[in-house]
Structure 1
Amino acid sequence: MSEALPLYAKVKDHILGNIRSGAWAAGHRVPSENELVESFRISRMTANRALRELTSEGFLSRVPGVGTFVREAPALSSLMELRNIAEEIAQRGHRYSARVISQSEIESNPALNEEFEDRALKRLYHIVIVHEENAVPVQLEDRYVNPLAVPDFLERDFTDTTPTAVLLAATPVDELEHTVEATLPTPEQQRLLSIAALEPCLALHRRSWSRGKVATVATLTYPASRYALYSRHRTTARGTFSQ
């Protein structure tokens, strides 16, 4: 380490070096403030700053009264494709589970009719589900479904399968529309996702078309610390999507 580096930066480099080399894997307990003070002969304030900055940068997770640990990288979910979250979680070797919060038939309204591009639409299926990875909530799904697309949608057991799996099996997908925004959770989202009021979230709003009609409209809310959205596509030399 360079002598020109501030002391707290030397401590950060030491910790990051162990993480990046693989010596300290996700979940590894890093030295405490007291241990860092003794090892580096620094002040407690300096040790605290190093750990605090690494925590805010997403490398560490601090558990009051327990210790500081190397944080697992957030899971990835496809932005542009329809992917079954249960399969994504299983592919990572983790355990998937779901909690169905509500599942019902509702009256449509002008705002929903506009989303579905159908002023004559009277009824919709509505489902709210919390998807969990190793019993930790990672996605809140709030979905509306056109009954004409999947008439038996509400008869399914969504603790055993996912809405995406049911929709893909029942009807072809012609077109997808995505909008992503950064949000702060509502009190209800905080409760369902077990997150704090100021925990940033990613909200993916998705509309899916089948046979030229909007089949489903969903908002998928992810705690930003637990999930990341990604997309990778081939493009032309000018950066546009290849056909």
Structure 2
Amino acid sequence: MSDSPLYIQIKQFIADNIESGRWPVGHRITTELELTKQFGVSRMTVNKAIRDLVSEGKLQRKPRAGTFVCAPEEKAESPLLDIRNIADEVNQRGKHYRSEVKKQLAVTADDAIATKLGVMLGKEIFYSEIIHFENDTPIQLEVRWVNPSHAPDYLSQNFSEMTPNEYLSNSCPLSAIEHTVEAVLPDQHVQESLALKQSEPCLLLNRRTWSKDNLVSSALLYHPGSKYKLSSKIVLD
């Protein structure tokens, strides 16, 4: 028997039935009462497992009818080995793009940011925090630090009309990028910004960009794990 909490075991049991095809899209799953008997647990434990799967988009509750398997939700997709304007990506998918600028100001570089951006400790740098939406769904929280020596007009831009990516690509033509990707459990601020459930993970893309030999920008790009994926294509000779 697994050492995982009982609700995790039940959640995995349901997920395995869905992923194996034993419970196809539209299938009404085993009732909560039957699952409590099968696993010898409380109704509350079963309910938590099902609620998690509902929040992840794998199950749907229908009042007085039961709980049913959902069709997989289509995920937004971005290239991993390239930089594209997120507004263009959303529009190309036939969806409506908009953004909310939460912060856009000058700050003082602490140890971590000075290292990320390759500047002296205590130097004044530019900071922005923007939520990007596909229709009315938040799909990316962008947290960015910019070296003002290379993009002096950054704070005067209207990022409700253009993205930082678009501005920086035009003012500081890209010469090199550095990417790292990891799955993280978001803090409360990221959860609220992306309207995430408490247990939902994020994809975090850590990106630094250079123009010529100048390190211009360092950004943290948070994406809802259930709604986003990153991809790459490598052509081999």
Contact kept in structure 2, 1:208 and 1:217, CA below 8 Å: yes
Distance in 2 between the 1:64 and 1:156 partners? Answer: 47
Is 2:76 aligned against 1:71? no
What percentage of aligned pairs have identical amino acids? 31
- 2:171 is aligned to 170
1:94–1:134 Cα contact (<8 Å) kept: yes
TM-superposed CA distance for 1:120, in Å, is: 6.8
CA distance in structure 2 between the aligned counterparts of 1:235 and 1:140, rounded to whole angstroms: 34
Q: In the alignment, is the contact (CA less than 8 A) between 2:110 and 2:121 conserved in 1?
A: no
The separation in 2 between residues aligned to 1:61 and 1:77, in whole angstroms, is 26
| Residues 48-86 of structure 1 deviation map (CA, whole Å, 9 limit, x = unaligned) | 9xxx6xx58x77342565975423221111111111111
Q: Secondary structure at the match of 1:125?
A: strand
Structure 1 counterpart of 2:181 = 180
Give the secondary structure class of the aligned counterpart of 1:70: coil
The amino acid across from 2:214 in the alignment is K
1:62 aligned to 57, 60, 63, which one?
A: 60
User: In the aligned structure 2, how far is the partner of 1:170 from the partner of 1:67?
Assistant: 52
Q: Who is 1:241 aligned against?
A: none
> TM-score under structure 1 normalisation?
0.73
Give me the whole-angstrom Cα distance separating, in 1, the residues matched to 2:146 and 2:62: 43
- Which residue of structure 2 aligns with residue 233 of structure 1? 234
**How many Å apart are 1:149 and its aligned residue?**
1.8
Q: How does 1:86-235 map to 2 (within 5 A)?
A: 86-119=87-120, 122-235=123-236
Residue 204 of structure 1 aligns to a residue whose secondary structure is strand
Aligned-pair CA distance for 1:153 = 1.1
Structure 1 counterpart SS, 2:192:
helix
Task: Report how far residue 110 of structure 1 moved.
Answer: 2.6
Q: Which amino acid aligns with 2:190?
A: Q
Matched to 1:127, the amino acid is S
**Secondary structure of 1:167's match?**
helix
Secondary structure at the counterpart of residue 149 of structure 1: coil
For structure 1, the residue ranges without an aligned partner over 5 or more in a row are: 1-7, 20-29, 38-42, 237-243
> Structure 1 pair 113/14, CA: closer, same or farther in 2 (3 Å)?
closer
Give the partner amino acid of 1:74: K
Q: Which amino acid aligns with 2:58?
A: L
TM-score (norm 2): 0.75
Counterparts of 1:63 and 1:139, CA distance in 2: 28
Deviation of 1:115 after TM superposition, in Å, equals: 1.5
Partner of 1:24: none
Q: Sort the Cα spacing of 1:199 and 1:64 in 2 relative to 1 into closer, same or farther, 3 A.
A: farther
RMSD over aligned Cα atoms: 3.1
Deviation at 1:111, TM superposition (A): 2.1
The letter of the residue matching 1:150 is: A
Q: Aligned partners of 1:61 and 1:166: how far apart in 2?
A: 41
Aligned equivalents of 1:122 and 1:188: distance in 2? 26
CA 63–71 in structure 1, closer or farther in 2 if over 3 Å, else same:
farther
